[in-house]
Amino acid sequence: MNHKQFLIRDANSSDISTFMELIRLKAEFDGCLDFLEATPKKLEDTLFCENPLAFVLLAEIDGNPIGFATYHRIYSTFLAQPGIWLDDLYIKAEYRRLGIGEALIKRLCQITQKIEGGRIDWIVAVNNTPAIQFYEKMGAKIIQKSRFCRLDREEIKQKTAP
């Protein structure tokens, strides 16, 4: 593949169907297609609304969407500063190793600096060696002493039941 120029841009509501397909590819890659509940309506209501809950960066080559990063703001009490939580980063397989992931991370760094943020956090699957190597190459520290925790819908419901 020749090295074409790529563009990183903020997604907008006209990108919903494109973004939906990229989400589906990410779920397939992660082996959790059965858990995919996103719909165009849900994306519109939560991401492309007056007060978005998160933001989407799209990567494109010649107007062809090839990847994305989703993120939202967080706050660190230890730093007393905001930061960014990188929720998902995905690039279609045939476009990996072209610098697109690095460009997405750099854009997130610019956004973090703009909000005077202190850090960018995310998780990576322990068996995703290529991603771990990429993130370490980008300067990320893989923190082994922390564990990802989650209360799912059912647990939340049980904890709030009368």
Closest by alpha carbon to 114, among 146, 157, 144, 83?
83
135 is catalytic: yes
Instruction: Please say whether the beta carbons of 119 and 82 come within 8 A.
Output: no
Going by C-beta distance under 8 Å and a sequence separation of 6 or more, which residues neighbour residue 59?
A: 6, 7, 8, 65, 66, 67, 68, 69, 91, 95, 100, 103, 104
Q: Could you tell me the two tokens for 95? A: 């476009």
Identity of the residue numbered 51: N
Q: Which residues are catalytic?
A: 135
